[in-house]
Amino acid sequence: MKTNSFMIMLCCSITLVSAAYAEEVGSVDTKFKMLGPDHKIVIEAFDDPKIEGITCYLSRSRKGGLKGMVGLAEETSDAALSCRQVGPIHQTSELKEGERVFSESRSLVFKKLQVVRFFDKKRQTYIYLAYSDRVIEGSPQNAISTVPIQPWANQ
């Protein structure tokens, strides 16, 4: 019983750590699981940590069942990304090309979903790229979203 309690507390703490990076906006169940949570698609929002006024929305699958509940299920590499200007754009510090703005583990150890940022100076547009990588082999599945710099009302 003590082992089960420890595993539940560990899973809850892992969930709280990942929640600090993105805020869940909504979800839909995609498959019923008798034991543990259902498989689902979640939509989360995160703000660019170095650019005020840009929010990105990320949707991806999350496995349920017992393996999903304890964090042992390997998640798919699929993700959809949409970034938008939600206020006046203000850069808070120096930016690096390809800088990571979001990262989440998609398996126990070896797989991560990442969102990186680029800037197209000629077109004055921020570009966000979502992809997953592994220690041994990454995935070619990816998604991009662009945010052209626009004047904001009352700016």
**Per-residue pLDDT tens for 80-93?**
999 999 999 998 88
Inform me whether the pLDDT recorded for 64 exceeds 70: no
Paired strand residues for 113: 104, 132
Proportion of the chain above pLDDT 90, given as a percent: 40
pTM: 0.73
Inform me whether the pLDDT recorded for 129 exceeds 90: yes
Instruction: Give me the DSSP letters along the chain.
Output: -HHHHHHHHHHHHHHHHHHTT-EEEEEEEEE--SSSPPEEEEEEEEE-SSEEEEEEEEEEEE--HHHHHHT-SPPPS--EEEEEEEEEEEE-S---TTEEEEEEESSSSSEEEEEEEEEETTTTEEEEEEEEEESS-----EEEEEEE----TT-
Paired strand residues for 42: 27, 60
Sequence spans of domains, the chain: 2-148
pLDDT of residue 30: 75
- Span 18-37, pLDDT tens digits: 333 689 999 888 766 667 66
Ranking 2-6, 51-55, 73-77, 115-119 by mean pLDDT, the lowest is 2-6
